[in-house]
Chains A and B, each alone.
Chain A
Amino acid sequence: MTNPPYVRLAVALPVVLFVWFCTMVPAVSGGEVLVWELAWLPQQGIDLDFVVDGLSLLFALLITGIGAFILLFAGEYMKGYPQRGRFTLFLVSFMLAMLGLVLADNLVALFVFWELTTITSFLLIGYSHEDATARRSALQGLLVTSAGALAMLAGFVVLGQAAGTFSLREMLAGQGSFAAHPHYTAIVVLVLLGAFTKSAQFPFHFWLPNAMAAPTPVSAYLHSATMVKAGVFLLARLTPLLGGTELWMVTLTVVGAVTAVYSAFVSLGKSDLKQVLAYTTVMALGVCVMFLGSPPAAGQGEPSRGVLAALAFLVAHALYKAALFLVAGTIEKATGTRDLTRLGGLRKAMPVTFAAAVAASVSMAGVPPSVGFVGKELLYTAGFAPDAAGYVPWAVFFAAAPIATVAMVLAIRPFFGPRPDYRKPGREGHWALWCGPVVLAAVGIWWGLAPEFPFMRLLVPAEAAVTGHLPDTGHAPWHSTGQAFALTLATLAAAVLAFWKLAAVKQALAGCRRLVPFSADGAYDAAMNGIAAVAAWQTRRLQSGIQRHYLMIVFATLGLSLAVTLWLKNVVPAPLRLAEATFLDWSLTAVVAAASVVIIRSRSRLLGIIALGVVGVATALIFLNFGAPDVAMTQLIVEVLITVIVAVVLLKLPDFSNEVWPSRPKRLRNAIVAVTVGVSVTLVLLAVTGSPPQPDLREYFERNAVPGGHGRNIVNVILVDFRALDTMGEITVLAIAGAAVFALLLPRTRRREGALLPGARAVAARAQAWHGSIMNTMILRETTRRLVPLILVFSVFLLLRGHEQLGGGFVGGLVASIAFSLYAFVFGPQAARGILRADPRAVGAAGLAVAIASGFVGSIREGVPFLTGQWGTLAGLTVGTPVMFDVGVYLVVVGVVLTFVLGIKEQE
């Protein structure tokens, strides 16, 4: 089986990058800072500037160096797995995102890369996506780290606001520490949430062991060597800006110490290789965090080497942990299991892997000669510094001792003892599998033997990038003190003891675990269930599915906000001037009020709709009373039409009285809402009518109707000229309504036109017969035949004189539709279609087209705005495009009304 070419390319990329970063080592370790600048959103101070200083170079080398071996390993390990293209793509994307994270100078850019690592991590943990555990773990990792990241983003934004820039360089060059800023505490808490969730600090650690659901290369790379160290990286990065305060130091030290000790003991109790490694990873992250919280000075004028200790331990951990994860993967690939209790006897079958495991474990246990040993010495030395908290060395001890035990377990258990029957051959695998562990573990030993190169070239420059001052090059920092060495010996002794009594230790740990009734993982589940429960409850309450509730809430909102605003803004309504009211005013008001009461109390739909009609008619009379006959007329026609139509529809509905009526308290509540709305709207109206009149617009229309609009009927000039665009919108509404009705009625009509089913034909015939018996009277037919042309002529007359006197396209159109409707009622819809000679839909559309076209006449002829009136004389008559527009209105009304009428008639 050979790998597809992209797998090889995926290995080449980190190799090339690694070499490239290596070439920067001399310059950077000499104190230089390399910068690549790229503007991104400069308006917001967001740039894609990449900065290589000691710290970012250290991480970049880890990411690309370990990445090369991981991708090499993955190429072999993933053979035979599905979706390899996506897997490789995500893994490489992760690597680039991680590089961006450590190299970014801009906090926003850093956040972007941070979240890119989150999302690639999500996709990679969920690799076995058909397995529910993998899905849950992926989601958990995403949500926990995203929650932290969003807090961190908030912290960044506040920090950026405080600094006036998002650029770390500019912040450092500017004011430096933000300890005195009023928002300092908020910034620190928010940023720490981000760092702690990403770096799996207690109590957010639980997602990391679950992330072991990912394939082993992913666990080794993301969830051990690189991504989870992003939090540590961020803390180091921000130390010069946010560090050095009590809050910072205490939080980091305590959280780190608790995490380290807790997870070290938990790891002892696990038997799945990857779980063991995951918890020891958490321990290492805790140690790093703890030492990044070291006080800036170690006392007696000596600078603290806490940061150096943290970084050295981080590098040591990255090397041995990546090696051990790959060993675990190799073993699993070879034997089919990674359960420590089922492994053994692989020493002879897998000698290279065994050697790598031993070398890595030596570093892990902190046994000389290894970089792990050097790292641990540094931890103890920094821990004993006079300014450091007294418990720090003991925290290290209680974390390091169990880890050393675990290291012994890892180096011994799978390789010694009896060899059980494995499902797979249990032999040494392809070189690509063991190459990574061997090289990484060897580097760990090599750097333990010759610490000068890593320290002077990598770690000390990185430390300098964090602490800001050039290190004192006087004595080698990796030389341990006697105190530290003594504690190292004690650690190893304790570890050997624990290994010897491992069964008892495990039992004791299990006992302790049972004493604690809850877990962080359980708390996560509880939180998720809690959100779901709250969401479901809220949605049941609000989106109840009951239309009455919706209306009630909307009206209550309206009434309440108006009432509260009236009160708060102290709006005084104008006095009612009741003395001026005439008898007619009082009686019309009384009719409206009485009819309204009937509507509310009525349990019959028909009675309610009739009462509503009474309200409408009374309103029309009020209009008439106030001298607006046009409005009154329209209101009256519309009111009658609506009442008739709704009444006809209501006859087909089931009885209203069967409905369950709301209970008395609910009715009371509804009444309160209704009264609140009514009273507040009334008060608002009174207040507005009390303000001085503003006659400008009316006066302009009166002045310009004849000279500009060529019409004496101001209402019509407004409709077809001054505000013709409004009318165009309104006839569009009409036309759409017609089209909608057509679309809804059509299916049944079509069936009739086409092939009729036998039953339907009979029904149609019966309807025709019934129709005939009513309408087929000689007088009616003859009258209609004579009347229809007359009405049509009258409608055209109304249309044409509309510009001067009462009339217009709308009224004319209505009258014409009455004529056609009458014809349709008497002679049937097909006959009406016959005299119309067109589909009513097309008539409506043509009307709209005519109206639109009238608007463009001026635009085309003279380049004036749309709907500008163009006037001229034709055969002695003054004609203009507004009249043409009115013709369009006429046609739309005819077309739409006939679509309704003929459609309904043809339905019968």
Chain B
Amino acid sequence: MNWLLICPIVIPLAAAVIGFAGRGSERTQRGVSLAGAVALSAAAAGLFSHVWREGIAAVQIGGWPAPYGITLVADHLSAAMVAVSALIGLATVIYACGDTRRGRLSQALHPLLHALLAGVCGAFLAGDVFNLYVWFEVMLIASLALLVLGGKPAQLDGAVRYAALSLIATTLLLSGIGLLYGLTGTLNMADLHLRVQEVEDQGLLTLVAVVFIIAFGLKAAVFPLFFWLPASYHTPQIAVSAVFSGLLTKVGVYALMRFFTLIFRHDVGYTHELLLWVAGLTMVTGVLGAASQNELRRILSFHIISQIGYMILGLALFTTLGLLGGIFYVIHHIIVKANLFFVSGAVNRLAGSTELRTLGGLYRDKPLLAALFFVPAFSLAGFPPLSGFWAKLLLIRASVESEEFVLAGVALLVGLLTVFSMTKIWLNAFWKARPEESGPPPPVAPRRRWLLLAPIAALAAITVAIGLYAGPLYTLAERAAAELMDPSLYVAAVLGRGSQ
């Protein structure tokens, strides 16, 4: 267990270190990156199977007992998030090998990708609020570096917006941690679960909770704090966009799920009601934003926001079914959204554009690509029997069960608008004939083509598999949700069964 929990952090870190140091050839760089991604996937799988078999795993880093040292914890949610992040990491590395031109860009890209993965996995495994903050910082700096890689003016412009708003989030997070520490005298999450119950002024605790909602809300890109996302996600390289779209905001969602089930559950009527409003407004504004766009990555970026709303909805309902739906949604979404960005990149490579106006004819000329777009796109829109259908169904059921009929209606309506948005891409990029003024599409080397399409096909296959056989993911989400709703297991795993 000592190795299991630290490996998902250290492996990508080591891959990044070797990359940073390395002056090796392109081939070695890619080899190291690929090996790192495969090793991370293996480690994540090992951790996952351990948690699946034996329940929550925890390790006290440095051997200092909780709550004094730093604890790493993997419950079903964390283990699943690490596993799916490793999967996306692997897909991204393969895609990047096929997509980026040789040279400096790719040399910096791979180590930075691994550094980002280390931050992401660290955030998922942190059992200590300050340690979580540190991994958020690693993610922030790595993502900022990835964002500016290439140095185009649009990228720098997006990066400035991203950096400014992210720094506000980081500052707020740190302030929140300080306030929480001031109230409770501890940083350990499991210990916090116990200590917050002793805080005399529960209203003050709610106030601190609001600080965290805003801090993580900024990270998760909820309404009205999402501006950084549509301002920056369409600017970097596709591989970077894809990994961002899959993982970055979801770490914010994860943190909200963790904090608002483990720590702040004293005033659900206030905090989670606030989250309900946030969820509904995020869904609507995000999807309307997407409807107003005409470029692939911009459309997809706004859809991330809208989908975040669904995940928050699952948390805000604060029932086992709601969280189950939310967790199911997160995992489905990571796979589908990253894949859609990959597809947009493949479209760009194979057709030379991502503007709907200049695209066309892909259904006729590239039927495989069309099929590979169709699956994640209609899964995102919630069409059965694809993964997104189950995610939406579970959330709608959870809303109805909690008698939140308006939100169930909003969730369905937003689903319809998502259909509209995905079909807009389908009609314009795939069905419409290619406009003559767009000229012939650029040539792509066959090996490249294979590297681009392989990760897309694999992720699409997973989407279909979840759709046809939702049972395993459901069980996983169910276990994770049950653990979140009953934190005593988490607390026992971290603090030892005998304590307090």
Contact = CB atoms under 8 A, between A and B. Distances in A.
Given A695-B185, A743-B149, A561 B214 contact: yes
Contacts of A855: 6, 10
A569 B115 CA distance: 41
A722 B475 CA distance: 37
Contact of A845 (B18, B62, B131): B18
Per DSSP, are chain B's interface residues mostly helix, strand or loop, or mixed?
helix
A115 B206 CA distance: 44
B141 A694 contact: no
Interface stretch (B81-89, B159-167, B308-316, B436-444): B159-167
A730 B137 contact: yes
B458 interface: no
Contacts of B199: 691
Contacts of B182: 688-689, 691, 694
A739 B108 contact: yes
B104 A688 contact: no
A199 B127 CA distance: 55
Contacts of B195: 694
B474 A732 contact: no
Interface string B194-218: 0100011101101110110110001
Contacts of A839: 23
Given A565-B210, A864-B63, A841 B397 contact: no
B17 A157 contact: no
B68 interface: yes
A536 B400 CA distance: 31
A43 B60 contact: no
Contact of A554 (B2, B218, B394): B218
A542 B289 contact: yes
Contacts of A735: 16-17, 20, 115
Nearest to B288: A535
Contact of B207 (A565, A736, A740): A565
B14 A852 contact: yes
Interface string B373-402: 000001000011100011001101100110
Interface residues of B, number: 126
Nearest to B151: A744
A143 B4 CA distance: 48
B492 interface: no
Contacts of B256: none
Interface string A826-869: 00000000000001011011101100100100110001111111
Contacts of A744: 148, 151
Interface centre among B104, B144, B288, B384 (most CB of A within 10 A): B384
A724 B62 contact: yes
Contacts of B213: 561
Contacts of A688: 179, 182-183, 204, 208
A143 B419 contact: yes
Interface stretch (A258-266, A381-389, A448-456, A696-704): A696-704
B142 interface: yes
A568 B213 CA distance: 17
Contacts of B119: 729, 732
B96 interface: no
A681 B206 CA distance: 14
A395 interface: no
Interface string A581-610: 000000000000000000000000000000
Interface string B315-345: 0000000000000000000000000000000
Nearest to A694: B185
Contact of B160 (A157, A547, A561): A547
Interface in B94-111: 104, 107-108, 111
A685 B179 contact: yes
B149 A687 contact: no
B268 interface: no
A115 B419 CA distance: 12
A369 to B, nearest CB: 44
Interface stretch (A9-17, A145-153, A403-411): A145-153
Interface stretch (B35-43, B227-235, B244-252, B347-355): B227-235
Contacts of A863: 2
A287 B230 CA distance: 50
Nearest to A847: B17
A562 B207 contact: yes
B285 interface: yes
A693 B185 contact: yes
B307 interface: no
A743 B104 contact: yes
Interface string B278-303: 00000001001111110000000010
B363 interface: yes
B288 A539 contact: yes
Interface string B248-285: 00000000000000000000001000100000000001
Contact of B200 (A129, A161, A534, A691): A691
Nearest to B126: A725
A531 interface: yes
Contact of A694 (B68, B186, B224): B186
Interface string B1-30: 011001000100110111011010000000
B396 A852 contact: no
Nearest to B172: A558
A36 interface: no
A568 B2 CA distance: 46
B431 interface: yes
Contacts of B69: 722-723
B396 A41 contact: no
B378 A154 contact: no
Contacts of A561: 210, 213-214, 274
A127 to B, nearest CB: 10
B179 A729 contact: no
B185 A697 contact: yes
Contacts of B431: 126, 129-130, 135
Nearest to B175: A681
Contacts of A696: 185-186
Nearest to A132: B432
Given A157-B408, A535-B288, A740-B148, A547 B164 contact: yes
B135 interface: yes
B189 interface: no
Interface string A115-146: 11001001000100110100100110011001
A145 to B, nearest CB: 11
B291 A866 contact: no
Interface stretch (B47-55, B410-418, B483-491): B410-418
A568 B271 CA distance: 12
B203 A571 contact: yes
A536 B293 CA distance: 8
Interface in A544-598: 545, 547, 550-551, 553-555, 557-558, 561-562, 565-566, 568-572
24 contacts: A86-B367, A108-B393, A115-B384, A142-B419, A142-B423, A150-B415, A531-B288, A538-B285, A539-B292, A542-B289, A565-B210, A569-B204, A684-B208, A688-B204, A723-B62, A732-B13, A736-B16, A740-B144, A743-B108, A852-B10, A865-B61, A865-B63, A866-B2, A867-B61
Interface of A: 40-44, 82-83, 86, 108, 111-112, 115-116, 119, 122, 126, 129-130, 132, 135, 138-139, 142-143, 146-147, 150-151, 153-154, 157-158, 160-161, 186, 531-532, 534-536, 538-539, 542-543, 545, 547, 550-551, 553-555, 557-558, 561-562, 565-566, 568-572, 681, 684-685, 687-689, 691, 693-697, 700-701, 704, 708, 721-726, 729-730, 732-733, 735-740, 742-744, 746-747, 750, 839, 841-842, 844-846, 848-849, 852, 855, 858-859, 863-869
Smallest CB-CB A-B distances: 7 pairs: A694-B185, A569-B203, A740-B145, A845-B21, A729-B134, A129-B431, A743-B108
Given A161-B397, A561-B210, 20 more contacts: A43-B471, A119-B383, A129-B431, A138-B427, A160-B397, A543-B289, A553-B224, A555-B168, A561-B214, A569-B203, A684-B211, A688-B208, A693-B185, A729-B131, A732-B118, A733-B134, A735-B115, A736-B142, A852-B13, A852-B14
